[in-house]
Structure 1
Amino acid sequence: MKTFSFKEKKRYFPVELPDGTKITLPGPKKKTMDTLANLEGSAESFNEIYAVVSEVLSTNLEGRPFTPKDVDDLLDVTDIFDFVQAYTAFVQGGTVGKN
């Protein structure tokens, strides 16, 4: 029987930011997914959304860090929601960036 290898099963999420920067994101850790799953529509949640999006973007394989301020400077609210939706679909088994 062939040995299962996690390296063979890795999928990545390629992202192009509005400024043209291209980054590659791995799948999230459980803590990040728990935070994404528990977000609500309050003003406090907007701060949490920007914080978790900056956390997700900072996991990029290129090593570029992102702060919530960076995210606010780069993306508007609709961009944020579109990104969260697309990233969640990727985590749930989408085919974007499959290796």
Structure 2
Amino acid sequence: MVVVGYLAAGDLLVELSASAAGPADVVTLDRLADAVAAALDEVAAHCARPGAGTVSPSDFPLAGLSRDDLAAFLTAVTSRRAAPSGTDPAGVDSEGTAE
């Protein structure tokens, strides 16, 4: 059995195939396809819930982060991404002068 997943034009496509698929194999592939579709629907529903996309220290066990460490890191990353080009998150431009 071969399972191939890929993105095409922003859509996730999953192809299931088996060599020499007979009638029993077709039924099995149909059931597997239905199960994969149901699982992906569950993932999509989870991602659409309020609060989805949040992380906790348990998501990064090897980093050894506390909740406060993780919050500080995420704040720094978010601030850096939101800062205008040529400035740092503290509002100091690339010349070292406050804005």
TM class by shorter-chain length? under 0.3
| Normalised TM-score (structure 2) | 0.27
Higher RCO (C-alpha 8 Å, min separation 6):
1
| Normalised TM-score (structure 1) | 0.27
Which structure shows the bigger proportion of residues in strand conformation?
A: 2
